[in-house]
A and B are shown apart, each in its own frame.
Chain A
């Protein structure tokens, strides 16, 4: 079965290379990737040779459905301004992130894959020789080990959220500095203090204690960066064979202090890719492309860039079928009451995706 599949893949790839040359004359084929993380939503449009054409990102506050719609509208507007909207054709849509299935139902996606795979695929396309990917996002952190362009091992944070973007945001706010300056503070630190802590709560209380003992902001932030990196390597990176080339992506990669701390403790060069924030969505787009190419004649489910005009109704009810009494959430189209998605039950009785 796999064999067949693969033959198809190579076949279509060849066809497409011919086809795309011809196709560029009128309509450019593009693939849309949406990464719905816990803190931000990232969208990326990618062409068949994996070049980023257009991207946008926004904070994910409140309802992800609304935010995804806003994101798509924003992208549409930008495309319209540059009068590109009519010259492109979305061939397939990939979703990833914690709300991948919901987003898939809302926008009409074609593939929903986990963010780990998406990140790996994106990193491989820009740096084919990558062997280690460090990824720290808003709420969770991951490590991906690759050999010869395939994922061989991975891990996600299990007990500790102390290394993630939200925590850094929170601590920066508490120390009264902007998150953008966080890295610079860390770099200025000469003798970083040591900060202990299994989870955010303990790390924070130890930090407050150190602050009250009169350490400078620089040294506290420097210490925090080091402790985050140490925590990451001891929890997520435990037992993983970290080998160069190493790529660091995800929102936290913007923080130069953390990047330096990684370089220091790994004693290796750590590369931050150009689109470090968008890697998830780029990966989703590439996965959509692969899906499209693997199935000749595939037609996308994408509802189009006008999806923001479609009204969705969200409601919840308690199932009551058993002692668990799960809270089931359902999303309907406002127009024809068609159920788009339903989830939240443990037994799978109501599930629609």
Chain B
């Protein structure tokens, strides 16, 4: 059986169910690097130089760990997401991810590159090109791909019902059926945690902040849990200009939704940003200005490898406390 290794970082948090199902159907065995821990982080920081963003450093760390843990891999899977629709681009670091990895890990097993560029071709065509690298016949690839797409849709439906992403991903990894959405205890506050999935669900670097906010007595909402209608229309940054970053589109859509109609559904927005993230440095500015106009409490948290637990928790605690006090005042007056 062909053994394919995937680093548990970056777009793993977004596309893993699709990749996993597809590779499974193509008859590959998928192995992952372990969950992020101190050693992986340290290794990533050691390899990547300091101006890179934390998620890329983690990708380096995971890649090193993967190669170290499974020396007998047949292939390493590295995605190259260029564009998911005809209008957009991913961030340059995604565009060159396989190149950056090849430049650093010199004796890597052959790389399975999943290139997706919807500007040029349909996604299915790219999937076929991908499957060809494994020497599969086109019909089988098509079949596997349609199953994978179906599975990925199911996965998203489960998330919308309120299953947390980490739980769903775990069941995908184990090949188990998706967990049922647990009863959500209604709390007086709802905090929307905005950010890329590799920041919001990377529990090691964000100190499990989702859970901690819940412990402080607030519901946590993530992008993935929002209803489908939020993501129906493309959002324009200004009337003349369209957003081109694929991985920022849903953030803008969510922000737009809360700006227009959903402002009452949440009490505050926390935007998780990795230090040196290019797209976020601009998008956060838009979200910040939108939320300010709307009067929704907003806070951005910058994640990097130095961000100490204490500082992060102080900010979150203060933010939740601030909203609680604000609500209390509103009720009194």
Q: Name A's B-contacting residues (CB within 8 A).
A: 1-3, 5-6, 98, 113-117, 140, 148-154, 156, 158-159, 239, 322-325, 346, 348
Provide 15 A-B residue pairs closer than 8 Å at the C-beta atoms, listed in order of the A residue. A2-B327, A2-B328, A2-B331, A6-B331, A98-B310, A113-B317, A114-B321, A117-B325, A149-B329, A150-B322, A151-B325, A156-B311, A159-B275, A323-B38, A324-B38
- A2 and B188 form a contact (CB under 8 A): yes
- Known interface pairs A5-B328, A150-B326, A323-B38; 17 further A-B residue pairs with C-beta atoms within 8 A, sorted by A's residue number: A2-B328, A3-B331, A6-B328, A114-B314, A114-B317, A114-B318, A116-B318, A117-B318, A140-B311, A149-B329, A150-B322, A150-B329, A239-B288, A323-B40, A324-B37, A324-B39, A325-B38
Interface string of B203-233 (1 = CB under 8 A from A): 0100110000000000000000000000000
- In the bound complex, what is the Cα–Cα distance between A227 and B106 (angstroms)? 45
Inter-subunit contact A156/B314 (CB<8 Å): yes
How many whole Å from A306's CB to the nearest CB in chain B?
Answer: 30
User: Separation in Å of the B73 CB from the closest CB of chain A?
Assistant: 20
Q: B153: which A residues are within 8 A, CB to CB?
A: none
Majority secondary structure, B binding face? helix
C-alpha spacing A276/B320, complex, angstroms: 25
Q: How far is the CB of A170 from chain B (nearest CB, A)?
A: 19
- Are the CB atoms of A158 and B37 closer together than 8 Å? no
Check if A346 sits within 8 Å of B204, measured CB to CB.
yes
| A153 close to B297 (CB less than 8 A) | yes
Tell whether B302 is near chain A: CB-to-CB under 8 Å. Answer: yes
Q: Is the CB of B38 within 8 A of A156?
A: no
**Chain B 224-261 interface 0/1 with A at a Cβ cutoff of 8 Å (1 = within):** 00000000000000000000000000000000000000
| B contact residues around A322 at 8 Å (CB) | 37
C-beta contact mask, B37-71 vs A, less than 8 Å → 1, else 0?
Answer: 11110000000000000000000000000000000
Do residues A1 and B188 form an inter-chain contact, with CB atoms below 8 A? yes
Residue numbers in A under 8 Å from B179 (CB-CB): none
Q: Closest Cβ of chain B: how far from A200's Cβ, in Å?
A: 13
Q: Which residue of A lies closest to B331 (CB)?
A: A2
Chain B positions 301 through 318: 1 when the CB is less than 8 Å from some CB of chain A, otherwise 0: 010000100110011011
User: For the complex, is B34 an interface residue (Cβ under 8 Å from A)?
Assistant: yes
Is the pair B322, A323 in contact by a Cβ cutoff of 8 Å? no
With a cutoff of 8 Å between Cβ atoms, the chain B residues found around residue A140 in the complex are: 311
Complex CA gap A323/B39 in Å reads 7
With both chains docked as a complex, state the minimum distance between the C-beta of B199 and any C-beta of chain A, in angstroms: 15
Residues of A within 8 A of B322 (CB): 117, 150-152, 154
- Are A113 and B302 in contact (CB-based, < 8 A)? no
Measured in the bound complex, the distance between the Cα atoms of B329 and A150 in whole Å is 8
Residues on the B chain within 8 Å of A324, using CB? 37-39
CB of B139 closer than 8 Å to a CB of A: no
Question: B residues touching A (Cβ–Cβ < 8 Å)?
Answer: 34, 37-40, 188, 204, 207-208, 275, 288, 297-299, 302, 307, 310-311, 314-315, 317-319, 321-322, 325-329, 331-332
Residue contact A113 to B321, C-beta cutoff 8 Å = yes
A322 to B329, CA, bound (A): 45
Q: How many whole Å from B19's CB to the nearest CB in chain A?
A: 24
Leading 8 A-B pairs by shortest Cβ distance: A323-B37, A116-B318, A114-B318, A151-B322, A324-B37, A114-B314, A114-B317, A324-B38
CA distance A154 to B317 in the complex (A): 12
Q: From residue B160, how far is it (CB to closest CB) to chain A in Å?
A: 28
In the bound complex, CA of A323 to CA of B298 (Å): 35
B34 contacts which chain A residues (CB < 8 A)?
Answer: 323
Query: In the complex, A116→B310 CA distance in Å?
Result: 13
- Interface-central residue, B34, B37, B317, B318, by most chain A CB under 10 Å: B318
Query: Which residues of B are found within 8 Å of A115, using beta-carbon distances?
Result: 314
Nearest chain A CB to B301's CB is how many angstroms away? 9
Contact of A154 among B40, B302, B318, B328 (CB under 8 A): B318
Q: Do B325 and A6 touch across chains, with their CB atoms under 8 A apart? A: no
**Bound CA–CA A247/B327 (angstroms):** 25
Measured between beta carbons, the chain A residues less than 8 angstroms from B331 are 2-3, 6
Distance in Å from the Cβ of A307 to the closest Cβ of chain B? 24
Question: Do A150 and B37 form a contact, CB below 8 Å, given A2-B331, A6-B331, A114-B314?
Answer: no
Q: Chain B contacts of A98 at CB under 8 A?
A: 310, 314
Whole-angstrom distance between the alpha carbons of A98 and B207 in the complex? 17
| Residues of A close to B38: CB separation below 8 A | 323-325
Distance (Å) between the CB of A267 and the closest chain B CB? 22
In the assembled complex, the CB of A322 is this many whole angstroms from the nearest CB of chain B, namely: 7
Q: Please give, as numbers and ranges, the residues of chain A lying within 8 Å of B307 by CB-CB distance.
A: 158
Q: How far is the CB of B296 from chain A (nearest CB, A)?
A: 11
Q: How far is the CA of A6 from the CA of B317 in the complex (A)?
A: 21
Tell me the smallest distance from the CB of B185 to a CB of chain A, in Å: 13
User: In the assembly, what is the distance between CA of A98 and CA of B39, in Å?
Assistant: 26
Q: Are B321 and A117 closer than 8 Å at their CB atoms?
A: yes
With a cutoff of 8 Å between Cβ atoms, the chain B residues found around residue A154 in the complex are 299, 318-319, 322
A75 to B298, CA, bound (A): 40
User: Nearest A residue to B37 by beta-carbon distance?
Assistant: A323
Q: How far is the CA of A4 from the CA of B210 in the complex (A)?
A: 28
Cα A203 to Cα B188 with chains together (Å): 46
The answer to whether A116 and B297 touch (CB under 8 A), given A150-B326, A325-B38, A346-B204, is no
Given contacts A2-B188, A5-B328, contact A116 B314 (CB under 8 A): yes
Chain B residues within 8 Å of A153, by CB: 297-298
Bound-state Cα–Cα, A148 to B325, Å: 12
Q: B188 contacts A152, CB within 8 Å?
A: no
Nearest CB in chain B: distance from A344 CB, A: 9
Contact A152 B297 (CB under 8 A): yes
User: Once bound together, how far apart are the Cα atoms of A322 and B314, in whole Å?
Assistant: 26
- Of all chain A residues, the one with the shortest Cβ separation from B302 is A158
What's the minimum C-beta distance from A238 to chain B, rounded to whole angstroms?
10
